Structure 1
Amino acid sequence: MFGRLPLSEQLDGLRSALSQNETLTDVMTRAATLELPGWYVTAGCLFQTVWNVATGRPPANGIKDYDIFYFDDSNLSWEAEDAVIKAGKTVFADLPAVVEIRNEARVHLWYEQKFGVPCPPHVSTESAIDCFAATTCCLGVRPEPDGGWRVYAPHGLSDVFNLVVRPNPVVAPQEVYETKTARWKSEWPELTVLPWPN
């Protein structure tokens, strides 16, 4: 499988796998038209598509939503983010999927109230992706104007292809990791879920 191949071949394998999810490729194409600063399609819709392809399931199986992160610290108001979310609702209106758009420059304003721990302000979309509860989730992809894909994968791709979920105890609390991995394990029993460190 791709997890043991050189990185260049893993990137080819990633693109091959993700391209099999037509909803995902449609989301990426449409998201580009919003011209959001520093945007990526990220998280579950990416690695879960790979899991589906690797295990012979339909490519969109078990995917709850499609996350788009962007970073705009020029206006941290809810109104500015909400305007982007509403624009996205128009762009994605006829897609058979839930698309969630979030300005990662604002996360520190609401994170502690939702998750019970503070989140330092992110400095980029990439720094937000770095903070997912599992290293496997730390993945972002967007199409580039030249037809290539920009891939952000700070922990590499081997775990994604090898169906390994590894904790990332940076910001998210243990219960977030355990809740997410319990759902994933029920949907993809082939996963190897590594325990949260003591």
Structure 2
Amino acid sequence: MILYNEQQVIQLISEDAWMMRIMQDAKTLQLPDWWVCAGFVRSKIWDTLHGYTERTPLPDVDVIYFDPDHLDEQTEKVLEQQLHELNPHVPWSVKNEARMHVVNHITPYTSSTDAISKFPETATALGLTLDDQDQLILTAPCGINDVLNMVLTPTPFFLETEERIKIFEQRMNKKNWKQIWPSIKVRTSLTLDH
């Protein structure tokens, strides 16, 4: 299967009962500016583009939100527990992006989408949420061309410093995604490795 645009990605995910259950579970928390993001979205796209009939296991399902009024990390643990009670077979991870700049030693994010734009790879800088009518909304602050073309490249934020480029490269070595999805290409600022 080939995916050409955002509408096809949304359609693909809307037809996946497991993913939509996760979206509904996350929505029950009624969090401000919430998204299910990163590998949850990217892996579905790459599994589809590789023609896989079985889902690649996810190490975690990232739920993020933006709430500057409640920055206690313990709140995130309570929310993870609530999701675990709803759906215990999912490796939930919940993070309030209003405090994650402290963990990442950078200037504060302005929203969840701003935080997503500063994820390491453009192909992972993706998030999904549900509107009031339970329609999927996709945010892709770095665009969707890289994920659809199976290219791993640093986000503009990660291209700003040598230190961040090194972090990106270390992630690529550690994640070993090319073993899982052989068609992907890894690109740093100036090189493209096949």
TM-score range, shorter chain: 0.7 to 0.9
Question: What secondary structure does 2:44 align onto?
Answer: helix
TM normalised by structure 2 equals 0.84
Q: 20, 25, 36: which one pairs with 1:25?
A: 20
Q: Which runs of 5 or more structure 1 residues have no equivalent in the other structure? A: 4-9, 112-117
- Alignment of 1:65 with 2:52, yes or no, is no
Q: 165, 177, 186: which one pairs with 1:184?
A: 177
Q: 111, 128, 141: which one pairs with 2:128?
A: 141
**CA RMSD of superposed structures (Å):** 2.1
Identity, % of aligned pairs?
A: 26
1:138-185, Cα deviation, whole Å (9 max, x unpaired)? 111112122322211112212211111121252582343223333211
Give the match for residue 127 of structure 1.
114
Trace 1:40-51 onto structure 2 (pairs within 5 A): 40-51=35-46
* Structure 1 residue 128: Cα displacement: 0.7
Corresponding residue pairs, total: 184
- Alignment of 1:2 with 2:8, yes or no, is no
Preserved CA contact (<8 Å) 1:45 1:67 = yes
Trace 1:21-170 onto structure 2 (pairs within 5 A): 21-58=16-53, 60-93=55-88, 95=89, 97-111=90-104, 118-170=105-157
TM normalised by structure 1 equals 0.83
The 2-side partners of 1:17 and 1:177 are apart by 28
Of 187-196 and 20-29, the range deviating more from structure 2 = 20-29
Residues 1:53 and 1:20: Cα distance change in structure 2 (over 3 Å) = farther
Preserved CA contact (<8 Å) 1:21 1:60 = no
* Structure 1 residue 79: Cα displacement: 2.8
Residues 1:119 and 1:58: Cα distance change in structure 2 (over 3 Å) = farther
Question: What secondary structure does 2:98 align onto?
Answer: helix
1:109-134, Cα deviation, whole Å (9 max, x unpaired)? 322xxxxxx22111211111011111
Preserved CA contact (<8 Å) 1:44 1:63 = yes
1:6-33, Cα deviation, whole Å (9 max, x unpaired)? xxxx122102332454432221111111
